A = this chain, B = another copy of it.
Amino acid sequence: MPTSLPFVDAPPPERRDAARNREALLEAAVELVRSQGVRAVTMEAVAARAGVGKGTVFRRFGSREGLMAAVLDRSETEWQAAIIGGRPPLGPGAPPLERLLAFGKSRLLLNITHAELIDAAGNPVPPSLEALSFNTMHVRYLLSELGVTGDLPYLASALVAPLDMVVLGRRGARADVPVDRLDAGWADLVHRVTGTT
């Protein structure tokens, strides 16, 4: 008798050695980022440090971007938890507008902090319905709470975009603009879009 009843059609679990290697690789990657910066994280270096072959890194994470995304995922998950179930004004409990502004500021800071990593993580793999990222979903929800009408998915993307631009640094705001100003600018943008004062 199996120790736990599997869900029907559940994908077979990861083999034990595979899981061990995944963990070792992730830890190696995190440590390399911490000690030598994102640029030093080559697939071979990570493999060597984890004591496995290069092929294994690619099997587990698919690509360098995938590996970076996995590294990023740790802090990102934590942050998302703070949004979903944390304390106000980031988490539920505060009025929507306040939450929205807090979200923007927090996301901005996070983007700046993890700029290199986010950049190295690139686009998430699936080119399909990932349009509904966590960020846009959340903003979209807050907009609806605020009673904003219109193409909410689009408006949400449009609001999130300037926050990301800072990181991508592409044809837009530059890093030498002080954070306060970016934050203030975004707040103004939010007010204009939501029609609040």
Contacts and interface: CB of A to CB of B under 8 A. Distances in A.
Interface of A: 123-124, 127-131, 133, 135-136, 150-151, 154-155, 157-158, 160-162, 164-165, 168-177, 181-182, 184-186, 188-189, 192-193, 195
Given A131-B177, A192-B193, A172 B157 contact: yes
Contact of A195 (B123, B165, B182, B192): B192
The 10 A-B pairs with the shortest beta carbon distances in the complex, nearest first, are A154-B185, A161-B161, A131-B174, A158-B162, A157-B172, A133-B171, A161-B165, A151-B185, A161-B162, A192-B193
Nearest to A195: B192
Stoichiometry, copies per complex: 2
Nearest to A169: B123
A196 B82 CA distance: 37
Nearest to A122: B170
Contacts of A150: 188
Contacts of A157: 162, 165, 172-173
17 contacts: A124-B171, A127-B169, A128-B174, A131-B176, A151-B185, A154-B173, A154-B182, A154-B185, A154-B186, A154-B189, A157-B162, A157-B165, A157-B173, A158-B162, A161-B162, A161-B165, A164-B165
